[in-house]
Structure 1
Amino acid sequence: MASSKKKSVLFICLGNICRSPIAEAVFLRLLNERGVKDQWEVDSAALGTWHIGKTPDSRARKTLKNFGVDDYKHKARAVNKDDFTRYDVIFGMDEANMEELEERKPSNCTAKLKMLGEYDPEKEVVIRDPYYDAGGDLSGFEKVYEQCVRCCTSFLDQS
């Protein structure tokens, strides 16, 4: 009989309204497609507190919908001390995220802290924040989505 302990991942970005919810939605979709969603605990969170309780950015939601992900629901939350022992892996999106996670990491941290982009087969390690992209342009969000698909697929293939 397989172990009853679920594998777990937490995706982190600055505000939890762009990159990390896209990564979470992509990962959940992949788990559903593979029929293993019940074997995982998946969430996303913010390093900052500006957007707590809000839904993802409208451009992130539109991008997900454009790629056929229309069942994702999320409210932004802040990363907390317990996350560092609750999750197996905590993924940051860029170097600043990783520095902040390292600074906040409690002494009893059991999670592996990694950049999601480490799993990109195209070696595009940084997943750039599209929040400040001009107007309603979705190109930055679409790029984040495509990177997350590559990275999450690669990570899942290795898990």
Structure 2
Amino acid sequence: MTYRVCLVCMGNICRSPMAEVVLRQKLADHGLSGRVSVESAGTGGWHAGEPMDPRARRTLADHGYDGSAHRAKQFTFEDYDLVLAMDRDNLRALRSRVPEARLFRDFDPAASAGAEVPDPYYDGSFDRVLTMVEAAAEGLAKHLADEIG
């Protein structure tokens, strides 16, 4: 049985696809490849089918990750084991149908309660966002290794 995780932001071209790529690598590092599937999606569908924002993809590539295969999609209320939002606005959008949804940075042991992954689309803070994503992804991978490992 595969444990299913979905990471959610607004348009699925920056934060959540960066988190998806990083989390896959962290899960592999913890021996969970094939046991945990990771997807990302946006609460909005206006970017559906588009590749990741080039700045996000370049930031990932500069740090050894490959985001080239990503295509944006809108979140659908499927049977996920864990749904994680990048920020409180998207969490509110999810909670009407996924009351157990949480914030992604809940898994970053150094983050304060309720910490968000900010949207780098307008301010270009992709490196800062990647640092946050890596910390939360590592924490989540450790959590899942303990839970299902």
TM-score if structure 1 supplies the norm length? 0.84
Q: Please, which of 13, 31, 42 is the counterpart of residue 9 of structure 2?
A: 13
Percent of aligned pairs with the same amino acid:
32
Q: CA RMSD in A?
A: 1.5
Residue 130 of structure 2 aligns to a residue in which SS? helix
What stretches of structure 2 of length at least 5 have no aligned partner?
A: 145-149
- SS at 2:120 equivalent: coil
1:131 alignment counterpart: 121
- Report how many residues are paired: 142
Q: Which has the larger radius of gyration?
A: 1
From 95, 100, 123, the equivalent of 2:88 is 95
Could you tell me which residue of structure 1 aligns to residue 147 of structure 2?
none
SS of corresponding position for 1:37: coil
Identify which of 11, 28, 33 aligns with 1:32: 28
Q: What are the residue-to-residue correspondences of 1:34-49 with 2, within 5 Å?
A: 34-49=30-45
Conserved 8 A contact 1:25-1:72: no
Superposition misfits of 4+ residues, deviation over 6 angstroms: none
Q: What do residues 106-157 of structure 1 show as CA deviations (whole Å, max 9, x unaligned)?
A: xxx5x83010011122215110000111xxx4xx111111111111111121
Secondary structure at the aligned position of 2:8 is classed as strand
Could you report, residue by residue, the CA deviation over 1:41-96 in whole angstroms, capped at 9, with x for unpaired residues? 11000101110000010000000000001265110000112x2xx21110001110
Question: Do 1:16 and 1:51's aligned partners in 2 also have CA atoms closer than 8 Å?
Answer: yes
Q: Which of 111, 114, 118 pairs up with 2:106?
A: 118
Matched, 1:61 2:46: no
Pairwise CA distance, 1:36: 1.9
Q: Which amino acid aligns with 1:132?
A: Y
Contact 1:88–1:112 (Cα < 8 Å) also in 2: no
Aligned match for 1:151, one of 99, 124, 136: 136
